[in-house]
Structure 1
């Protein structure tokens, strides 16, 4: 399938999910993360904060669980910069003040910046992914550019409310494939 087609169909399917179903599937993503990944060796985990109006997976249960059970793992979150094409990354802790961006995404205020090279694993937002580990995001390339700045061994873990499609046919050399993807029913490894 082509990325543009996947963006349309995946966005529509996700918007059609009732809030309770998004919450149920998001809780299952946390269970998959707990069962399949050893986080003790991670110092920094990068997590996107959900845009609730887009019915994105709710990452707050993951973040709160990390704060409670793995306090040595620090959480970094992205902020889209004024240029509209760049992400910067900031430390998120329980005391961080948040404001909502124009896209409906919570963003930290006054938090310390985190360099991409410091990040050990990234939970990647996506609209769809395929059985080979290719992903489709919103089409701006934010995460591909960010992942290129991370260390080569940084884990790229997608988070998806839906299972994969067989194949995304229009990948390009700058696309950064996933190492794994969490879904409510299982973890896909690539």
Structure 2
């Protein structure tokens, strides 16, 4: 299927999740991530703040865990059409931006590029780690500017059942996908 069709299909599917389903699926995704990756103190995790109106995965499980284990936490912020990475702390101040997305008040780009984990929002990923996001290309640009050692990890409610037909050469695929039931690796462009 084309990205536009998959985007519409999976946005629609998300609409029917209850708050309890989102909570439970998010918790299962978090548990699968922790069990598989076993993050350590002083590692660096880049993670998105969920957009509630899009019924995104509740990443508060992750951030709470990271803060409690002395794992450094960075979040994306769009400044002048660029995605920057802002380090946050338990007392960081946040504001809603013009799109209703919670962002840190600070516009200070951390300059960090060697993240251990980049936990990435998406609507769908196929069996090769190709992503369907919201179509703005922010994460492709971001991925180009981080260390190749950083693990690009998508989190999604859905398993990869359909192929994305219109992958472009500029698209950067994931290294892993974490769902409520699995952790999939895309190294060698196949599921391990």
Moved >6 Å (runs of 4+): none
Distance 1:41 1:154, change over 3 A: farther
Output aligned runs, 1:1-190, within 5 Å: 1-40=1-40, 43-68=43-68, 70-71=69-70, 73-81=71-79, 83=80, 85-110=81-106, 112-190=108-186
Number of aligned residue pairs: 186
* Structure 2: stretches of 5+ with no match in the other structure: 187-192
* TM-score of the superposed pair, with normalisation by structure 1: 0.93
* CA–CA separation in structure 2 for the residues paired with 1:44 and 1:104: 26
Render the CA deviation track for 1:110-139: whole Å, top value 9, x for unaligned: 375322413222001000010111110000
Bigger Cα displacement from structure 2, 156-165 vs 110-119: 110-119
- Whether the 8 Å contact between 2:46 and 2:118 is mirrored in structure 1 is yes
Counterpart secondary structure, 2:13: helix
Q: Quick check: 1:23–1:58 contact (8 Å CA) kept in 2?
A: yes
SS of alignment partner, residue 45 of structure 1:
strand
Contact 1:91–1:111, Cα closer than 8 Å, also in 2:
no
CA distance, structure 2, for counterparts of residue 124 and residue 43 of structure 1 = 17
Instruction: Decide whether the 8 Å contact of 2:114 with 2:149 is kept in 1.
Output: no
Structure 1: which 5+ runs fail to align? none
| Structure 1, 125-134 or 107-116: larger mean CA deviation | 107-116
TM-score (norm 2): 0.92
Backbone CA RMSD of aligned residues: 1.4
1:14 deviates by: 0.7
1: CA distance, partners of 2:73 / 2:88: 5
How far does residue 174 in structure 1 lie from its aligned partner after superposition? 1.0
Rounded to whole Å, the distance in 1 between the matches of 2:95 and 2:41 is 31
